[in-house]
């Protein structure tokens, strides 16, 4: 899959998530998705960084919420696919 099609796929999944009534009812989640969609549209060459950031943000959001909308499952999987290695993750490893 080319990087451009990966960008389009991630944008499509974000769009589907934003259309979900449960997501629309959560201002924090809606803002999170809109911010990352805007970043991806503005700089598609940063696809892997945006995917990694969105992946991390969804993890942190999920820690504070007992139930997540089902529409987030494929979106989360797409962010995993777009995150290549530790280079795009902000979790410190202790290695240089």
Q: What is the pLDDT of residue 59?
A: 92
Identify the pLDDT of residue 41: 92
Single pTM value for the model: 0.81
For the chain, which ranges sit under pLDDT 70?
1-2, 84-96
Domains of the chain and CATH, by start? 3-82 (1.20.1440.50)
Q: Tokens in use for 3?
A: 């990087």
CA end-to-end span of the chain = 31
What was the pLDDT predicted at 92?
Answer: 47
In this prediction, residue 81 carries a pLDDT of 81
Tell me what pLDDT residue 80 has.
86
pLDDT at 73: 92
According to the model, what pLDDT value does residue 89 have? 54
| Token reading at 10 | 């991630």
């Amino acid at each position: 899959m080319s990087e451009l099609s990966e960008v389009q796929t991630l944008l499509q999944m974000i769009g589907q998530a934003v259309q979900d009534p449960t997501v629309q009812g959560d201002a924090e989640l809606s803002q999170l998705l809109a911010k990352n969609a805007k970043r991806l549209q503005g700089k598609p060459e940063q696809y892997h960084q945006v995917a990694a950031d969105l992946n991390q943000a969804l993890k942190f959001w999920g820690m504070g919420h007992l139930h997540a909308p089902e529409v987030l499952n494929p979106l989360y999987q797409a962010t995993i696919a777009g995150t290549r290695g530790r280079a795009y993750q902000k979790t410190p490893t202790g290695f240089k």
